[in-house]
Amino acid sequence: MEMHQSSDSKVIPMTSVSSGKLREARADVAYYTDQIVNVIFIGTPDQWVLVDAGMPKGGDEIRLVAEDRFGVDNKPAAIILTHGHFDHVGGIVYLIEHWNVPVYAHPQEFPYLTDGLSYPEPDPTVEGGLLAKISSIYPNEPINIKPALRPLPLDGTVPGLDGWKWIHVPGHSPGQIALFRAADRTLISADAVVTVKQDSMYKVLVQKKQVCGPPVYLTTDWQEAWNSVKKLYALQPEVMVPGHGSAMEGAELSSGLKTLVEDFEDMAIPDHGKFVTSRDKPKDH
């Protein structure tokens, strides 16, 4: 079975001031911003893992960053996908073919990664900024990486990463996961919690830092999304690397997460949109 990117995969013309930058959140945790999304490198040259695969056509760029950090011909032990949205799998087929390594994801993401199901189309009618209004251009068709795809271990361990656990954080997508290392309270939050208002073109461009809920135009279950934020807040992370935006730590992170949990309905759930129900926004609100 031949692997392929989605049939609607295409370069998306958007950027940010962080694009092209590799930054360290911990000595062994670095994140590279591919246009507007973070690709994460965890480990050392002795053993490392890639988390997510960036924007469409981004594979070669990610490979070069990996070679610069870990050395040429030093492939990862595995690729971990937090979820399968277009901006997290954009370079995945190229990277699998180049490195010939397994890819791990939550089984609830498998239909979108094996040609089975398209994600719901992004919602350009949702309350939000310009990036929400133009979201109909974002790819949502399935990819196929079935030959390389493996389910994450049921015991919560992460292949290739000692001391890390994966945590199911649905809402933004059915099988989205976060990663957490308890030893130093480091959190990879995926799109469950981000640090930039992802529907605002200006805030994305300048990477204005604030703790936010998941991107509004692709989040399909707001109650699940809220529960996922509560789950991550309960971990009391010291450092967080999100799917979008800059890493955050310390008091800024803990107070931001606390506020998001308490005010999620006002801060994160849009007032209207095709994925917003009366349960999410009661009429007497």
3-state SS class at 77: coil
Mean pLDDT of 247-257: 97
Dist CA 6 CA 10 (whole Å): 9
Instruction: Give me the pLDDT at residue 198, please.
Output: 81
- In the predicted model, is pLDDT for residue 285 greater than 50? no
Instruction: Give me the pLDDT at residue 25, please.
Output: 98
Which DSSP category does 268 fall into?
T
Dist CA 188 CA 239 (whole Å): 9
**Among candidates 229, 188, 234, 194, which has minimal Cα distance to 211?**
194
Least confident of 49-53, 80-84, 86-90, 198-202: 198-202
Query: Cα dihedral angle (51, 113, 56, 16), rounded to 10 degrees?
Result: -50
Dist CA 257 CA 120 (whole Å): 28
Q: Please, are residues 198 and 177 in contact by the beta-carbon 8 Å criterion?
A: no
Dist CA 162 CA 37 (whole Å): 25
Dist CA 273 CA 97 (whole Å): 39
Q: Which two tokens stand for residue 280?
A: 């999410």
Q: Which two tokens stand for residue 257?
A: 């997460």
| 239 vs 130, more confident | 239
155-207 pLDDT per residue, tens: 999 999 999 999 999 999 999 999 999 999 999 999 999 999 888 776 877 78
